[in-house]
Structure 1
Amino acid sequence: MKNRFLSNILLTFIWVAITGDFNFANYVFGFVLSFVVLYVITRGKGDAKYFKIIPKLISFIFFFLYELLKANLQVAYDVVTPTFYMQPAIVQVPLDAETELEIALLANLITLTPGTLSLDVSDDRKVLYVHAMYMENKEDFVRDIKNGFERRLLEILR
């Protein structure tokens, strides 16, 4: 997988050097073009994990940006209006993540989203404690974390 990624980066830089256009859009186009070329050249040969992870990673980035924007708007709306809509709560989120890396990334992604804060992980690493500013329904909150951040993160890492 590392070799394909490095080949993709190398082909991207070759594309940018050949075209002579060093703007961000050309780097993105070069990366996508080299990704497609590598896919066509290596399809049916060996492990295709790289070609499955990159689209999931890009999808995850857009999902995170959407959640970040949604949470920022919710907190900003609550700040600028005279009425407070906060319903703070601490929620136990059962974890499917097992390794230190998976748990740390999940906890950090939750903390980066405004209105939520990862507080602690249980000693057996089966439960993540999360503080939420806007808690309407605990089951929905847990389901959103499990089916949103955790599922997508584990699809990339495993």
Structure 2
Amino acid sequence: MRYSVVVHKDRESDYGVTVPDLPGCFSAGETLDEALHEVVEAIECHLEGLLLDSEPIPTPRPIEHHQNNPDYAGGVWAFITIDLAKLSGRTHRINVTLPERILTLMDRYAVEHGETRSGLIAEAALEYIASHQHPGAVRGDATT
């Protein structure tokens, strides 16, 4: 999943990073690179907590949705890609049959967006489920 983040820097402070789609998720760093690196861990920990608590995982919204919020005024926007396949520790190997053309498109998209095939499938499944349930959230307590 790609989450938009906003970075703020005051004269006498470190860089602060907020994740608008994940209330309460934020990070900081002495440099911009460090701040953006640290927010990846903050997002992963936040999502892990949601999954462990069987809470909904918010679907990322476009930056335009957040830009008029005065809390983010003057900030610099960036995107952070999170591989959902790496979350929650336990994974299960499955066998899926797909047409070669779709697999090629998936792999190309995953590479271009810094994702893995498994992460892309997990993200697509969560977004599909979210769009067919209630808007804005996906439950983390799916069973097989």
Q: Provide the TM-score with structure 1 as the length reference.
A: 0.27
More helix by share: 1
Whichever structure has more strand as a proportion of its residues is 2
Structure showing greater Rg: 1
User: Which is bigger in relative contact order (C-alpha 8 A, separation at least 6)?
Assistant: 2
